[in-house]
Structure 1
């Protein structure tokens, strides 16, 4: 019994065309010699509003790219195509009504047997929703990063942010040979305040003090941070020793003027602070921890000598 060989399937261009035009991706082809479109899928009109017959040459493609993206995308795609390299590009395409849609263009370079570029074929994908999600995630990441550097109760910088700022400002001061001042601030008898008035009132007092200290800052480079439970730290570049001492006194007075009742304080009937100050012009090879250590020592002396006072390291 003789078996008949199965019939070879003939390619059916109509089937291929139906498949291409039923996908969400938009197929296209450009003839390299003429730089004209040989084909654009009809899906293009639903997405961008431009009819397929309006896509005549690469000029039509280029002019329908957002002006901010156009030069970079066109130069990249032309260079990759000339080199015979398959590539892809993300860009904003202008719709017929003037809006824009994010497109990912995936391009395949077709070569002749001698290696010369014959055509470009590719697919356009609508990635607008993906770009929106990426933007939302990026914004969320910024918010999370900001939160990670902010004290949740007082809304000033936290210790992590202060440590980073000290490192940066110290390096700037070393490079520029300029002074840097650090203020260690402690609320006097805060444990007794908490014990007497309760933690809710204690939290409110911390917030008031933090806001008052922060209000004294004048420049973007100034930083106020919560360093511990009732301790705050401020970092101010550019002060002389005299200016730093006057600023410290202003901090002390500003909290004093809040007149927050403190029945358990041994120095006043209202809340007060003690401030340790250190101003240095750092040398190469020195560390910011030195500034912190000396200011902390000055704060210790301010507390030892009666509190509600400033103590300069000098």
Structure 2
């Protein structure tokens, strides 16, 4: 054997040793036959399938999560035919029946005529990275939920109420259904805080929230804290009469709770004043108008002596 041949053999052995000592799993597929020309032995440590069991592209496809299979195969085949290097993340099936997140980085090899000759690439285990990504996404969702949640009572805050109103207004414009909005204010709440202290005031707000939340609201109805001692109810597909029934039931439940309020000028327990506004968004207007209308009606309820409901 010539020195050049010996050197080539040594180089090949060195490259193979280097490739097989990394965590990345090297592989090569012959494009004409779609059969594996090579796959690193690390594949057995990662997925449990023997090196010799990776015969053709069907083995790769069948050992992929069903939810990932279609788009990954279509994407990789299209990119390969176009001669474009690419990468794809998917879940690979282990011999034990579990799944491991894989990132396949693919290089398209062309011959002298520019035709696709082979695909070579590396498989990387990205399970830990995916776990971290999912954890971050979960934290982001939790933070987003918190950003829409009133910190004291746990119900929707003003930001979420505004968002819900925008969505429900647009929905009502399309459907032609009415949309109602109730503004509710605890009567003489400043005096309650002065008499019992702010901690007791916080407890009172939480109790009122629980009472309102128990008023058998429908899935799309949204209860929120508008600010301070003011609460609001967004009632989609609800006309004036139905909204009044919700308001009356809520007010009755709060009265029945008999939360002591010796400093109130209305009663010796917590009472509420309410403004009930109903709109037909398909006829025009905007959500801000509905909120303003409910606020005006609430003001009238307070002017008229509190512990009552005023509707438009």
- TM-score by length of structure 1 reads 0.94
CA-CA distance at 1:20 after TM superposition: 0.6
Length, aligned pairs only? 306
Partner of 1:233: 232
Q: C-alpha separation between the residues in 1 aligned to 2:75 and 2:158?
A: 45
Hey, what's the Cα distance between the residues in 2 that align with 1:271 and 1:305? 17
Aligned to 2:185: 186
- Calculate the aligned-residue CA RMSD, in Å: 1.4
Distance between the aligned counterparts of 2:53 and 2:19, measured in 1?
Answer: 19
Offset from partner CA, 1:271-309 (integer Å, 9 cap, x none): 110001111212454111111111111111110111111
Is 1:291 the counterpart of 2:295? The answer is: no
Q: Deviations over 1:65-96 (max 9, x none)?
A: 11221122112111111111111111111011
C-alpha separation in 2, matches of 1:218 and 1:246: 12
- What is residue 269 of structure 2 aligned with on the other side? 270
The answer for the alignment partner of 1:198 in structure 2 is 197
Specify the alignment match of 1:4 in structure 2: none
Alpha-carbon distance in structure 2 between the residues aligned to 1:171 and 1:121? 52
* Partner SS for 2:257: coil
CA displacement at 1:10 relative to structure 2? 4.4
Question: 1:239: Cα distance to partner?
Answer: 2.1
Q: Are residue 146 (structure 1) and residue 145 (structure 2) matched?
A: yes
Could you say what secondary structure the match of 2:227 adopts?
coil
Aligned to 2:94: 95
The 1-side partners of 2:311 and 2:184 are apart by 12
Alignment partner of 2:159: what SS?
A: helix
Q: Please give the alpha-carbon distance, in whole angstroms, between the structure 1 residues aligned to 2:251 and 2:127.
A: 54
Counterpart for residue 130 of structure 1: 129
* Inter-partner Cα distance in structure 2 for 1:33 and 1:177: 60
Cα distance in 1 between the residues matched to 2:246 and 2:229: 20
Alignment of 1:74-113 (within 5 A): 74-113=73-112
| Partner deviation per Cα, 1:187-234 (whole Å, 9 max, x = no partner) | 000000011111111111100101111222432210111011100011
Gap change, CA 1:243 and 1:214, over 3 Å in 2 = same
Measured in 2, the distance between the counterparts of 1:55 and 1:109 equals 20
Which residue number in structure 1 is paired with residue 32 of structure 2?
A: 33
What whole-Å deviation, never above 9, does each CA across 1:89-145 have from its counterpart, x for those lacking one? 111110111111100000111111001111111000000001111111111111111
Q: 1:238 deviation in Å?
A: 2.0
Structure 1: gaps spanning 5 or more residues: 1-6
> 1:160 aligns to what?
159
Q: Is it true that 1:45 corresponds to 2:44 in the alignment?
A: yes
TM-score scaled to structure 2, two decimals?
Answer: 0.95
Cα distance in 2 for residues equivalent to 1:284 and 1:257: 39
Task: Indicate the SS of the match to 1:152.
Answer: coil
Moved beyond 2 Å, runs of 4+: 282-285
